[in-house]
C-alpha cells in the first residue's frame, strides 16, 4: 500500500470516528430536548366523567407548562379563552355556566423550542345538578316476615343505592330503567331505615322510615299440663314474640280465656287446651296442651269421659259389667274405648242422648233402680251406696192395669199439663193446665211404656189402692222428692 493511500485511509477512519461521536452527542441532545417539551395530560372531569357543579372547574395537566407559548380552549364549540389560565402545570377553566347534559372540551396549545409543535386534546363529560328521584316500592308500614329483607324501588339509572338498617348496610346500582333491589340480612326487631341514592355526579337524596322485622313465630308455653286434681283448675299460658300478638284459646273446642278457671267443673278425663297465636307479621303458632282431670274417687261426683281414671271409673265399669255391657277384664279403672262403647249401648237402650260420656244422667240412671210392687202398692228406689227409699203408690185397676216388666224413665216434667189419652174413658175430656185441679199433680216421670208414668195426684186418698188408669200415683210431696233422685234412663221394674 502506498503512503498516500495509507494517509487517506487513516483520514477516513478518523472522520468516521468523529462523525460517530457527533451522532451520539446529537441523539443525546435530541433526547434531552424531547423530554423537556410540553405535552397535555389527564383532565378533570375526565373523559366520560360527571360533575354536579353548574359552573364546574375544569383542568388539564400540562407537562413542562413553561414551554407553552399559546393555548386555546373551546367548550361545546364556543371559545372560552377568557375563562382559561395557565397555572403552573395546569390549564384551568373556571366560571363557565353549563346546562345539565354532556359537554365537549377541546384544548389546543403550542409549545416553543426546537421540538415544539401543536398540542391537541378533546374529551367529553357530563353536568348533572339535579338530585336523583327516589321511590321505595316495597311497603314497610307493617312487619316483614323474613330476615332476608328485599327492598325494591326506582331511582336515577346508574345511581348507587345504599340501604342502612341498624348496623346492617347493603349497596347496589340502579339498572338502566332505574329499578333497584337491595337485600339486607336483618335480625328480628325494629330499626331506623335509610335509603340513599347517589348519582354519578355526586347528587344524593334519601328516604327514611322504620323497618320492622319479625320472622319468628310466637312461642307458646303452657303454665299447667298433665294431671290436675281439681275440677276447675286455673289454666294459663304465656305467648312471647318480638311484635304484638293476637291469641285465640279454646278448651275442648270452646272459647276460653287464659288465666281463668272453667265456668263449670271439668269432667274427669283428658281435656285439650289449644292456643293459637298470630304475631303482627302473620307468623302463627298453634300448640295444644293435654290436661288430665282426676278430681275425685267417688262415683257420681264428677262427669267421666275418655281418659278418666281411678276408683270411681272402676266402680262405674263394674256396674257396666253387672249389666253385661262390659266384659269383666275390661274393668281396668281407665275410661277407654271399650267403656265408651258400653256406655253408648246403655244410652241407646234407654233412649238417652248417645255420646259415650258418663254424665250425671248416665251415672244416675246406671246406679239407681226403681222397683214397683203392685201387690204391696209400694215404690222402692235403690241407689248405689245408699239405703233404699220406699213410698206408697196407687196402681192400675183391673180394667186399666199397670204393665208388668222392666223399662226405664224416658222424661221428667215439672208442672205438667194433663192431655187426655186416646182411650174410651177419656173421650170428650179437655186438657187441664198445671194447678190444683190437674190430675198429674206437680211432677210427671214418664216411663218407656206408652202413656204410663209416675206422677202426683189431686186425690191423695187413692194412694194404696188399685184405682188408676195404668199410671203410678204418688202423694205430691213424695213424687217431688223422687223426682230429684231419679234420672232419665233410670231402670224401672214393675211386678204384679
Residue 430 main-chain phi, psi, to 5 deg: -110, 155
Could you give the C-alpha distances from 489 to 268, 360, 376, 412, in angstroms and in order?
21, 11, 25, 10
**Rounded to whole angstroms, how far apart are CA atoms 425 and 423?**
6
What grid cell was written down for 76? 361545546
Q: Kind and range of the H or E element at 104? A: strand 101-111
pLDDT tens digits, one per residue of 104-152: 999 999 988 665 688 999 999 999 999 999 999 999 989 999 999 999 9
Per the annotation, the verdict on 8 as an active-site residue is: no
Asked if 238 and 227 count as a contact pair (C-beta separation under 8 A), the reply is no
Give the position of cell 340501604. 163
**Rounded to whole angstroms, how far apart are CA atoms 106 and 93?**
12
**Rounded to whole angstroms, how far apart are CA atoms 90 and 156?**
34
**Rounded to whole angstroms, how far apart are CA atoms 312 and 329?**
17
> DSSP assignment of 156-188, as one string?
STT-EEEEEETTEEEEEE--TTSEEEEEEE--S
**Bridge partners of residue 55, in order along the sequence:** none
pLDDT in single tens digits along all 496 residues of the chain: 333 333 334 434 344 433 433 333 334 334 444 456 788 999 999 999 999 999 999 999 998 878 888 999 999 999 999 999 999 899 999 999 999 999 999 999 998 866 568 899 999 999 999 999 999 999 998 999 999 999 999 999 999 999 999 999 999 999 999 999 999 999 999 999 999 999 999 999 999 999 999 999 999 999 988 999 999 999 999 999 999 999 999 999 999 999 999 999 999 999 999 999 999 999 999 999 999 999 999 998 999 999 999 999 999 999 999 999 999 999 999 999 999 999 999 999 988 899 999 998 999 999 999 999 999 999 999 998 889 999 999 999 999 999 999 999 999 999 999 998 888 888 888 999 999 999 999 999 999 999 999 999 989 999 999 999 999 999 999 999 999 999 999 999 999 9
CA 453 to mean position of chain CA atoms: 58
Query: How many C-alpha atoms does 413 have within 13 Å on its Cβ side?
Result: 16
pTM of the model: 0.67
**Rounded to whole angstroms, how far apart are CA atoms 142 and 479?**
68
What grid cell was written down for 412? 221428667
What grid cell was written down for 422? 186416646
pLDDT value at residue 12: 41
**Rounded to whole angstroms, how far apart are CA atoms 185 and 168?**
7
Asked if 379 and 493 count as a contact pair (C-beta separation under 8 A), the reply is no
pLDDT value at residue 113: 66
**Rounded to whole angstroms, how far apart are CA atoms 39 and 265?**
102
Asked if 41 and 68 count as a contact pair (C-beta separation under 8 A), the reply is no
Per the annotation, the verdict on 103 as an active-site residue is: no
CA 87 to mean position of chain CA atoms: 70
The CA-based angle 192-195-201, given to 5 degrees, is 145
Strand 90-93 with 58-63, pairing: antiparallel
Could you give the C-alpha distances from 53 to 68, 93, 99, 100, in angstroms and in order?
29, 13, 10, 9
How many C-beta atoms lie closer than 10 Å to residue 163's C-beta?
23
* 3-state helix/strand/coil string of 417-428: CECCCCCHHHCC
Who contacts 365 (Cβ-Cβ below 8 Å, separation ≥6)?
A: 346, 350, 352, 408, 409, 487, 488, 489, 490, 491
**Rounded to whole angstroms, how far apart are CA atoms 165 and 140?**
12
**Rounded to whole angstroms, how far apart are CA atoms 97 and 334?**
97
Which one, of 71, 105, 75, 76, lies nearest residue 89 by Cα?
Answer: 71
The residue annotated as part of the active site, out of 103, 271, 377, 455, is 455
Asked if 272 and 206 count as a contact pair (C-beta separation under 8 A), the reply is no
> DSSP assignment of 252-317, as one string?
TTEE--TTB--SSPPPBEEEEEEEEEEETTS-EEEEEEEEEE---SSTTSS-B-TT-BSHHHHHHH
Please name the residue ranges forming H helices in 285-387. Answer: 311-322, 337-349, 360-367
Please name the residue ranges forming H helices in 3-148. Answer: 3-35
**Rounded to whole angstroms, how far apart are CA atoms 167 and 158?**
25
The residue annotated as part of the active site, out of 103, 377, 469, 471, is 471
3-state SS class at 83: helix
End-to-end Cα distance, the chain: 182
Amino acid at each position: 500500500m502506498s503512503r498516500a493511500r495509507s494517509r487517506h485511509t487513516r483520514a477516513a477512519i478518523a472522520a468516521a470516528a468523529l462523525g460517530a461521536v457527533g451522532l451520539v452527542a446529537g441523539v443525546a441532545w435530541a433526547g434531552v430536548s424531547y423530554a423537556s417539551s410540553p405535552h397535555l395530560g389527564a383532565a378533570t372531569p375526565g373523559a366520560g366523567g360527571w360533575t354536579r357543579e353548574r359552573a364546574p372547574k375544569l383542568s388539564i395537566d400540562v407537562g413542562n407548562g413553561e414551554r407553552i407559548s399559546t393555548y386555546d380552549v373551546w367548550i361545546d364549540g364556543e371559545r372560552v379563552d377568557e375563562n382559561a389560565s395557565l397555572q403552573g402545570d395546569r390549564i384551568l377553566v373556571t366560571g363557565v355556566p353549563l346546562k345539565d347534559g354532556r359537554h365537549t372540551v377541546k384544548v389546543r396549545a403550542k409549545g416553543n423550542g426546537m421540538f415544539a409543535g401543536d398540542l391537541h386534546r378533546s374529551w367529553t363529560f357530563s353536568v348533572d345538578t339535579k338530585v336523583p328521584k327516589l321511590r321505595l316500592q316495597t311497603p314497610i308500614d307493617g312487619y316483614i316476615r323474613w330476615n332476608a329483607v328485599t327492598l325494591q324501588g326506582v331511582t336515577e339509572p346508574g345511581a348507587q343505592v345504599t340501604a342502612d338498617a341498624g348496623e346492617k348496610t347493603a349497596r347496589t346500582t340502579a339498572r338502566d330503567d332505574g329499578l333497584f333491589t337491595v337485600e339486607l340480612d336483618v335480625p328480628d326487631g325494629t330499626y331506623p331505615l335509610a335509603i340513599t341514592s347517589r348519582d354519578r355526579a355526586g347528587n344524593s337524596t334519601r328516604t327514611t322510615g322504620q323497618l320492622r322485622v319479625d320472622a319468628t313465630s310466637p312461642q307458646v308455653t303452657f303454665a299447667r299440663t298433665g294431671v290436675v286434681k281439681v275440677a276447675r283448675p286455673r289454666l294459663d299460658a304465656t305467648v312471647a314474640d318480638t311484635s304484638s300478638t293476637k291469641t285465640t284459646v279454646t278448651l275442648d273446642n270452646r272459647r276460653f280465656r287464659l288465666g281463668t278457671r272453667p265456668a263449670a267443673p271439668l269432667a274427669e278425663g283428658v281435656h285439650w287446651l289449644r292456643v293459637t297465636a298470630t304475631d303482627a307479621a302473620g307468623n302463627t303458632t298453634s300448640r295444644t296442651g293435654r290436661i288430665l282431670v282426676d278430681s275425685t274417687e267417688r262415683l257420681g261426683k264428677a262427669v267421666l269421659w275418655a281418659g278418666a281414671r281411678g276408683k270411681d271409673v272402676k266402680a262405674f265399669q263394674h256396674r257396666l259389667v253387672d249389666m253385661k255391657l262390659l266384659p269383666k277384664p275390661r274393668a281396668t279403672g281407665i275410661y277407654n274405648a271399650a267403656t265408651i262403647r258400653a256406655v253408648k249401648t246403655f244410652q241407646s237402650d234407654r233412649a238417652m242422648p248417645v255420646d259415650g260420656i258418663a254424665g250425671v244422667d248416665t251415672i244416675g240412671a246406671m246406679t239407681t233402680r226403681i222397683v214397683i210392687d203392685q201387690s204391696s202398692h209400694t215404690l222402692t228406689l235403690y241407689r248405689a251406696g245408699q239405703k233404699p227409699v220406699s213410698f206408697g203408690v196407687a196402681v192400675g185397676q183391673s180394667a186399666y192395669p199397670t204393665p208388668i216388666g222392666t223399662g226405664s224413665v224416658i222424661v221428667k216434667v215439672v208442672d205438667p199439663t194433663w192431655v187426655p189419652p186416646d182411650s174410651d174413658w177419656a173421650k170428650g175430656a179437655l186438657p187441664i193446665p198445671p194447678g190444683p185441679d190437674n190430675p198429674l199433680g206437680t211432677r210427671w216421670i214418664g216411663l218407656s211404656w206408652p202413656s204410663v208414668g209416675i206422677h202426683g195426684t189431686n186425690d191423695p186418698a187413692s194412694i194404696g189402692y188399685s184405682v188408676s188408669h195404668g199410671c203410678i200415683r204418688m202423694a205430691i210431696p213424695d213424687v217431688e222428692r223422687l223426682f230429684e233422685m231419679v234420672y232419665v234412663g233410670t231402670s224401672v221394674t214393675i211386678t204384679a
